[in-house]
Chains A and B, each alone.
Chain A
């Protein structure tokens, strides 16, 4: 991306990582994107009562091309899944996803043919947030978890290393569609 790709792993790179992480987490722009009732709670987070602007996030981007964060708020139907994927693909890197509510996270109580059983079948999810719908504080809690996630993200050679490790772990893990029991 920039100068951090040329830096050797070590003190300098980790310092750049910390600064970049702090900058990134301080103004994450969410995409204006709601699918169902969870979107109402997401809008409530934008009101003065909870005031998402305290985290530099009041600017809900109307175009995915200017968004960093996708809050999948609501149940993802099979018909909506390609649209969700397209909106995600249109967002520039680096981008993050919060799966808000049980429907987006795992299908929730809608265990039927119409609903995708978890949006992580379609796009990679960073933070899962339970609740039906989650109260605004729960979404703020998820956003704070995401901030931690962003602060700890790697750059340059460290990022390559982290991506390799994640891929190794993903190859060893059971695929989502083969999971049984409560994880299904």
Chain B
């Protein structure tokens, strides 16, 4: 052939060294990644904390003396776009020893269906007493529908130190308004004595210096407002 003698080397081609590593050059990123820090969240062992305002499971808060904040007004149920909340109110009755919240009414039945709830937080906005807040807990999967309807005993905030589980009378000399003004800081000896007389198995610790609200969860801004 005519052009046999003057063939020039291909300008795109590298040296023989480059040719040797050409088949594995594409793995450069792969090999380099082996020495980088792993970004994967090792979920069940190491949980990455959620944002503080993450909308998780609900919680029904308590006053510092242990009385419930929920007054059974059903505004949360009305606000719910998915009809996930069921509330039935009832009257507090001091004479019968059934006082669950300061004031006139309390939530007797409180259920949230977590297979309807879309965690939008409209119920939290609707609640006039900040009784309902959301925690950051999100592990809710279950194997049947009935267990995912949370009832009041599952939703109620834990009884912290200084609190007495309801029912018990209000702090003596205080009315409903004083509870919301933050004048109540914990259960009094008279309340403790009342509970012991009716249950006999409840003790109360020294009241904390902590403010009113449940501290570990429900950290929505403005939660402390009455």
Contacts and interface: CB of A to CB of B under 8 A. Distances in A.
Say whether A associates with B: yes
A109 B118 contact: yes
Contact of A128 (B42, B111, B148): B148
B57 to A, nearest CB: 9
Nearest to B40: A51
B111 A182 contact: yes
B118 A132 contact: yes
A48 B138 CA distance: 21
A141 B86 contact: no
B41 interface: yes
B16 interface: no
B184 interface: no
Contacts of A111: 82-83
- Interface residues on chain B, size class: 20 to 34
B197 interface: no
Given A111-B83, A141-B139, A149-B143, A130 B115 contact: yes
15 contacts: A48-B40, A49-B40, A51-B40, A54-B42, A105-B145, A108-B82, A108-B116, A126-B143, A132-B120, A134-B138, A141-B43, A141-B141, A149-B143, A181-B86, A182-B84
Interface of B: 39-44, 47-48, 50, 81-84, 86, 111, 113-120, 138-146, 148-149
Given A51-B41, A128-B142, A141-B140, 11 more contacts: A49-B39, A54-B40, A102-B117, A130-B115, A130-B141, A131-B138, A132-B119, A137-B138, A138-B139, A145-B142, A182-B84
Interface of A: 48-51, 54, 102, 105-109, 111, 118, 120, 126-132, 134-135, 137-138, 140-142, 144-145, 149, 181-183
